[in-house]
Amino acid sequence: MNGEGIGKVDGKTYFIPNALIGEDVEFEVDQDRQNYAFATLTNINSFSKERVTPPCPYFYECGGCNLQHMKYSHQLYFKSLLVKKTLKKIADIDLDVLPTQPSRQFKYRNKSSFNVDNKNLGFYIKGSNDIVSIEYCMLMNDDINKVFSIFKDYLHSLDEDKSCLIKHLVVRAIAHQILVGLIIKSDFDCSAFYTLLENNFSKIGLYKIINNRRDSVVLSGKTIHVSGIKEIVINNFNLTYSVDLLGFHQTNIEIQDIIYQKVLDLIKPNSVVVNGFSGEGLLSGILASKAKHVYGIEISSASHKSAEKLKRDNNIDNLTNILGDFFVKIDPLLTSVDTLILDPSKKGCGKEIMNKIIGVKNIVYISCNPIALAKDLRYLTKYYIIDYIEPYDMFPNTNSVETLVHLKLKKEK
């Protein structure tokens, strides 16, 4: 289910990363349990026709991707199968799942966080906190790779007392507007880095984030704007909105736009829509162009603030952004809503929320986690029929999949 090959020998199950279905392989066991074991692939005796040589030279070491050894068409097949099997296993839902909508396979990411360890720069090695030192990443767009390369030269030019202060390099690049963040243990003058960036890009901004935490939280701490632009301004779906370095924004805009267009097509003109888990409010703004009224519910005050700015900047008067917990804020809207959009975080909605929303005529559920989706659908399908299930390849070359499910009420509660 994580993209590894799964095989059985004498009734025991072996999980073997980088092995594919139908291959005859040799392996060494790393962790042996009673009924299953984790193993490392050592030799392939017969190759699957779906196997390709991973184009990225770091694939076998780097923890970023786990499906690059599969043909892209097979990655898409694998993701639809993953959703189908998860729904069957957890929710006993045995329905056709549409083919996974493809993305461009590489250069789709508009944001990255690279790890720095003194002069070493890259991503973590699979299953380790050590860094695999890279020259570029094939998933990032060209602007991110260019910033990465400039930063690498800068890092190597620094004395060790400064380079050892840098923990991460964060880059967000959309429409040739670039925000760069240096996450550092304590403050130092990094204006020379900005000069290098300025010589290469016309719209660029640099931030320092002072963060001495030992845990994995990257974007936290005192934030200092060094120079250049402060935010990225985007025009999309006839809306203008801004994105900063720290806030949430979808990393694959091509797939984001396909999903948002699909949701727009699913709502009826002049209907009342509740956009639950609405984030920075872009989808709410898009839906307001067709709906009678849209209510967006979001718990993060930073995201709510961005959603209010998007509403103001675009003069949208049929949109209400509500700050708070969906579980509480949905109550007064339940009698008037025609379509409810659910786009929760990885853990899904949970039974309490599901129980509350039974009775809403149309539900569009967008999920980034097939297991959580299956748990929620197990409950919802007592009252709803599934119109269709469509996966989207938001993160090519990884085992992540985004899924949209359209549900229609079959009977009153």
Ligand X SMILES: C[S@@+](CC[C@H](N)C(=O)[O-])C[C@H]1O[C@@H](n2cnc3c(N)ncnc32)[C@H](O)[C@@H]1O
Residues that bind ligand X (CB under 6 A): 248, 250, 277-279, 283, 297-300, 303, 325-327, 343-345
- The residue at minimum Cβ distance from ligand X is 279
Q: CB 315 → ligand X: shortest distance, Å?
A: 21
Q: Which 3 state secondary structure label does DSSP give 237? A: coil
The Cα–Cα gap between 184 and 226 comes to 13
**Both ends of the chain: CA-CA distance in Å?**
35
Nearer to ligand X, 277 or 395 (CB): 277
Q: CB 260 → ligand X: shortest distance, Å?
A: 8
Q: CB 90 → ligand X: shortest distance, Å?
A: 20
Joined tokens for residue 246: 């720290």
Q: CB 389 → ligand X: shortest distance, Å?
A: 18
Report strand pairing: 12-16 vs 5-9: antiparallel
Nearer to ligand X, 297 or 364 (CB): 297
Q: CB 299 → ligand X: shortest distance, Å?
A: 4
Nearer to ligand X, 179 or 259 (CB): 259
Q: CB 391 → ligand X: shortest distance, Å?
A: 16
The Cα–Cα gap between 51 and 71 comes to 6
Which residues have CB under 8 Å from 27's CB, separation 6+? 14, 16, 19, 39, 40, 41, 42
The CA-atom distances, in angstroms, between 402 and each of 108, 255, 358, 388 are: 15, 9, 23, 14
Nearer to ligand X, 148 or 277 (CB): 277
In the structure, how many helices (H) and strands (E) does the chain have? Answer: 10, 20
Nearer to ligand X, 12 or 309 (CB): 309
- β-partners of residue 178 are 173, 204
Q: CB 341 → ligand X: shortest distance, Å?
A: 8
The Cα–Cα gap between 47 and 52 comes to 10
Cβ contact 37:29 at 8 Å: yes
The Cα–Cα gap between 303 and 309 comes to 10
Nearer to ligand X, 29 or 302 (CB): 302
Nearer to ligand X, 180 or 274 (CB): 274
